[in-house]
Amino acid sequence: MEGQYSEEVMEHFRNPRNVGEIPDADGVGNVGNPVCVPDSTLINCNSSVAEIKDIKKGTAVLSHDGKYHTVSRIFRRLYKNPLMNIKVHNLGGVTLTPEHHVLALKTNHLRHKFYESKKYVADWYMAAELKKGDVILYPIPKEEAHLRSIKFDQPKLKHDFKSKDLPKELVITEDFLRLIGYYLAEGYVRTDKCKGTLGFVFGATERRLADDVISTVKKEIGLDIGNTRVIRNAINIEFYSARLARFFEKFFGKGAANKKMPHSFVLLSPEKQKSIICGLWRGDGYINKKGAKYVTISKQLAYQLRLLLLRQKIIFSFLKIEAKGMHKENYCIYVKEENSLKKLGQILGVSVNRPPKLRNTHKCWHDENFFYFTIKKIDRLIYKGLIYNLEVEDAHSYVGEALTLHNCGDIMRLYIKVDENEVITDAKFKTFGCGAAIATSSMVTELVKGKTIKEALSVSNRAVAEALGGLPKIKMHCSVLAEQALKSAIDDYLARKKKE
């Protein structure tokens, strides 16, 4: 037994038999469940996050392999039935149909999940199969952009005779990336037609950050400071350049709620991204021996920073605070785990020694490919409205706010070839689903080859499960689906031959 599956199941999962289709099949069976999420579900795509209803065909979304894959089809339908809301420690929650598959480990019965879960195999589980204490897998982004410079493509206006010449391209150095972090946290732009300002506002005690910005703009861009003002315990530094202001507005947004990074910066190497994190956290965060906190009102920037922290292997907690009164909706990121706090301290140039009693309780951990978060709570609710799903090329999965989702439930397509004596001479399958779904599909094709139609009709789900050395109780539905796929293919054959 490997984890929860028999050796025979694992063998058919790793090396499935009869995969593919029969172009001139005599019977084709289709079974499975459509799965979806509500229209407001947030999906990680190549422009940070977007609600699933706003995603277009051709958009690249983050998948379970840590890479971005293209959306090839978008489905939507009306739905009035129960949905499940799965809340995950550290990340948040996702609402989905009960049949929707989630990448997870069935570990709710384990007391020491961090140690014992290593014996278990990650698989795609229906939301209805998951319980509090199970562990979901969240991918660490793998793609990297080897960006050495960025073109300064803001032309001078026709009657601009005063502005200083600026570099034709800006080199992606640690200092420049830290400046970007400062801008995303504390920067602003004013972009009038013929004049503009790039500015930064720091607290009165953050003089060293203001000096860092001044020296960096001079070194990397060749522009001297235009003005410095101290107003109400704040240091306001300004650089006068309409072209530079338009450049920062174009690439990094204008206004605190609209700040974001271009996708190419989200794909920079983890080593380079440390400088962005440094500027961001120095501007809008704090760190001490008990923990660290970062706050922003930009949704896009908050979810982008989550991806950057995943790549640094920093364990964090993410919290969304609803708008109330004069306060806008904001997003908080906390870092408290000992090793993660030390990593963040090194990025910020701060030495942090967290008290031993506050060490991680292993509700979250990571390896090279995934972060592992435990399920905190599962609720059911009645929903009426549109729900959506995505077909994603190659990976067949997409990553939401807190879960990694398969783009379908267990869906089986089974093909049979039948000779004149009604003997099944060949059988093949195409299945999207969990390991048990693939194994049962593989086994049922093996069982029916050489049997007559009448004999094949007697192949039950229990026979499929027994041939695989047994299935866990929560995976018996996969053997039922295999039986249904077979009978659906036989029904199709009989219908074509006009037989009962």
Asked whether residue 133 is assigned to any structural domain, the reply reads yes
252 and 333 assigned to the same domain: yes
50 and 13 assigned to the same domain: no
Asked whether residue 300 is assigned to any structural domain, the reply reads yes
Is this structure's pTM higher than 0.85?
Answer: no
434 is catalytic: no
Q: Which two tokens mark 63?
A: 């998948």
Q: Which CATH number goes with the domain that contains 454?
A: 3.90.1010.10
118 and 228 assigned to the same domain: no
20 and 47 assigned to the same domain: no
440 and 398 assigned to the same domain: no
**Rg for the chain (alpha carbons), in Å?**
28
Number of domains in the chain: 3
The DSSP result for 221-284, as a single string, is T-----EEEEETTEEEEEEE-HHHHHHHHHHH-SSGGG----HHHHTS-HHHHHHHHHHHHHHH
136 and 197 assigned to the same domain: no
285 and 400 assigned to the same domain: no
478 is catalytic: yes
396 and 443 assigned to the same domain: no
54 and 174 assigned to the same domain: no
- Position 194 scores a pLDDT of 64
Of 36, 278, 364, 408, catalytic: 408
Asked whether residue 394 is assigned to any structural domain, the reply reads yes
Asked whether residue 2 is assigned to any structural domain, the reply reads no
418 and 460 assigned to the same domain: yes
345 and 488 assigned to the same domain: no
Q: Which two tokens mark 243?
A: 């072209």
Q: Which CATH number goes with the domain that contains 49?
A: 2.170.16.10
Q: Which domain holds residue 130?
A: 34-142+369-406
Asked whether residue 117 is assigned to any structural domain, the reply reads yes
- Position 1 scores a pLDDT of 31
Q: Could you list the pLDDT tens digit for every one of the 500 residues in the chain? A: 344 788 888 888 889 999 999 999 999 998 876 778 999 999 999 878 999 999 999 999 999 999 999 999 898 889 988 999 999 999 999 999 998 989 999 888 877 777 777 777 788 888 998 999 999 999 999 999 999 999 988 777 666 656 677 888 999 999 999 999 999 999 999 987 667 899 999 999 999 999 999 999 999 999 999 899 888 889 999 999 988 999 999 999 999 999 999 999 999 999 999 999 999 999 999 999 889 999 999 999 999 999 999 999 999 999 999 877 777 899 999 999 889 999 999 999 998 887 766 555 567 899 999 999 999 999 999 999 999 999 899 888 999 999 999 887 667 889 999 999 999 999 999 887 778 889 999 999 999 999 999 999 999 999 999 999 998 877 888 888 899 899 999 999 999 987 65
Asked whether residue 402 is assigned to any structural domain, the reply reads yes
Instruction: Compute the CA torsion angle 220, 223, 227, 230 (nearest 10 deg).
Output: 0
Are the CB atoms for 6 and 472 separated by under 8 Å? Answer: no
What is the spatial distance between Cα 278 and Cα 282, in angstroms, rounded to a whole number? 6
Strand order in the sheet with 411-418: 27-32, 411-418, 424-432
**H or E element at residue 439:** helix 435-448
Asked whether residue 1 is assigned to any structural domain, the reply reads no
Asked whether residue 43 is assigned to any structural domain, the reply reads yes
155 and 180 assigned to the same domain: yes
Domain boundary among 354, 386, 406: 406
